[in-house]
A and B are shown apart, each in its own frame.
Chain A
Amino acid sequence: MNAPGLAQRLERSGLSRRDFLSFCASMAAVLGLPDTAGQAIAAAVENEAKPILIWLEFQDCAGNSESLLRAGHPTVADLILDEISLSYHEMLMAAAGSQAEQVLSETVRDNAGKYIVLVEGSIPAGADGAYCTIGGKSALQIARDICGKAAATIAVGTCAAFGGIPAARPNPTGAMSVGDAVPGVANLINMSACPANAENITALIIYYMTMKRWPPLDQYRRPLFAYGKSIHDSCERRAHFDAGQYVEEWGDDAHRHGHCLYKMGCKGPATSQNCPIVKWNEGTNWPIGCGHPCIGCAEPNFWDTMTPFYQRLPNVAGFDVGNWVDPVGLGLTGLVTAAVAMHGIGEVVRHRAGEKSSDNSGSENE
């Protein structure tokens, strides 16, 4: 029975049942579910068997672990994650070395087909996987072993979901996403963003515990509750966008009045996530809220296609096209117009010459 455990732990941490219920209600809100779902969530968290989680960390900056540790409701969420039994997390677990690896292999052996893997970081496949090895095994090998036997794999952060920064051109380590590294992996869910929002990860796991299934996904296998809407469509500056009020320069009047950052290269129109709603750091703020354009970190190939961050259009493979496509287009159109005008003059000359030579009837020409 887990229920008394959770209640006691909440009490020991000085948290009331009210705190717990408001946490459940906030999870319902993140998931876009009605208020009443909070009760179902509370019941599920208290009574249902907890899934076993394994956290694998590969080629990354540990930013997603950091993000999770600073989850909006650290105490309640931490307690619940403890309850869920995070069996293996290199950064958080006390055990180290072969002892840690033993825990991992035992967990996998005893719970094959039942546990959930969260993967953080991309998987370097170059040089036979030599760029990232743990306990003598390459990241590729570990991912295939462990994700292959999991009930579900959650790719946490853009590196795990899409390859992220390590996979950006020229991708020296041959980095790839979990989906590419372990083809056909069961129930893959991509929780992209750099880092992934801890609220969304917690909400995803809570959803699974409550509904006993995974939420609907978008074209990149991201849950619609968190990635179903573009930043642009729920942005607090959208009224200024539609009005035609744009920041033209850092610190100008428009910037100080909180106008739209579109002309400063905001990638909100090309990026889907719930940042404007859920925000970061306990709902304190988010990038656009504090005056910086969205850099599109939740999208595939973001380092290649969302850069330059302060420009509207991307550059392609070394060409500075983004900045130049419209001036070059205008120039080419001008050139063609000039060429065509010359050609027109040529045609008129030929026409006149032809008329003179073909008939000398003296009729007026037009």
Chain B
Amino acid sequence: MTRPCSENTPMHRVYVWELPIRLTHWLIFVATIVLAATGYYIGHPFISVSGPARDHFVMGYARSIHMYAAIVFAMAVFVRLYWLFAGNQYARLTELVPLSGRRFRSLFHAILFYAFLRREPDEYPGHNAMAGSSYAMIFSVYVVMIATGLALYAVGTAPGSPFHIFNNEAPWLYGLQMARLIHHIGMWIIFIFVVLHLHFILLSSLIDRTGALDSMFSGYKFMPNKEGTARD
């Protein structure tokens, strides 16, 4: 069997990504770009302005935008995590954490395929187990980013604010400076993930013609027909 790349290979449509998955994906995408840009400025304020302070609000805007983007990000991650339990078969926790024998085989299949040690890609409409594991990891990083972000935010809230309670995170984060350091490291992990994610999505879309990139808009993927596997 060849790779499903030829124009003549018969394909069929599979509905893979439900609306909440697509929506949260793009919200996280936009929020991450905004958060990274403003966050980098907050860590390293490279713009310096002169004149009276009342004429400027550079850091003020950066922090405000960072916080609004953080709300969008946190809500989207929250819904995505809920969909690990409420979503269809392609969205579930079992797709991310390879615990079954089938998913384990899928993991090795994908690794061997991308290491040029196997010819055919894993023909499964959802994530292959390598992608799934990377999402499990990146979702954990998201949770850590939200937690450290809330700890850093809470110090500026008054007692009585609903966010004041997150001050209790500081003791077990070993203080706010550690929260700040973890927040920086988390951003770079996300950056590296983005590079890898883009790479594999483009490979899958442009070379294997699975429609992986389009599927995040439409929800549908295209899979080569196999005997007796015509779905939908």
Report how many residues on chain B are interfacial, defined by Cβ distance under 8 Å: 53
A300/B56 contact (C-beta < 8 A), A270-B177, A313-B177 known? no
Q: How far is the CB of B217 from chain A (nearest CB, A)?
A: 21
Which chain B residues lie closer than 8 Å to A347 at the CB level?
203, 207
Pick the interface stretch among A95-103, A217-225, A280-288. Answer: A217-225
Check A269–B171 contact: CB distance below 8 A. no
Residues in A whose Cβ lies below 8 Å from that of B185: 325, 329
Contact status B176-A270, CB under 8 Å: yes
Give the nearest-CB partner of A306 in chain B. Answer: B177
The residue that A326 contacts in the complex, of B44, B116, B203, with Cβ under 8 A, is B44
A73 interface contact, C-beta 8 A: no
Stretch of B68-76, B140-148, B192-200 with 4 or more beta carbons under 8 angstroms from chain A: B192-200
Find chain B residues with CB under 8 A from A232 CB.
156
Total A-B residue contacts, Cβ distance less than 8 Å:
142
Q: Is A94 an interface residue (CB 8 A)?
A: no
Q: Most A CB atoms within 10 A — which of B3, B155, B167?
A: B155
User: Cβ of A322 < 8 Å from any Cβ of B?
Assistant: yes
Q: Which residue of A lies closest to B186 (CB)?
A: A329
Q: Secondary structure at chain A's binding surface: helix, strand, loop or mixed?
A: helix
CB distance from B35 to the nearest CB of A (A): 15
Number of interface residues of A (CB under 8 A): 61
> Taking the complex as formed, is B58 at the interface, i.e. its CB lies under 8 A from any CB of chain A?
yes
Any A CB within 8 A of the CB of B230 = no
| Chain A residue with Cβ nearest B114 | A343
Say which one of B22-30, B47-55, B84-92 lies at the interface with A.
B47-55
Other A-B pairs beyond A219-B167, A346-B116, 4, CB < 8 Å: A245-B53, A313-B181, A340-B199, A344-B199
10 examples of A-B residue contacts, CB within 8 angstroms: A232-B156, A243-B57, A243-B60, A296-B177, A299-B176, A314-B178, A336-B192, A344-B199, A359-B6, A363-B7
Residues of A within 8 A of B (CB): 216, 218-220, 224, 228-230, 232-233, 239-246, 248, 254, 262-263, 267, 269-270, 272, 296, 299-302, 305-306, 312-314, 316, 321-322, 325-326, 328-330, 332-333, 336-337, 340, 343-344, 346-348, 350-351, 354-355, 358-359, 363
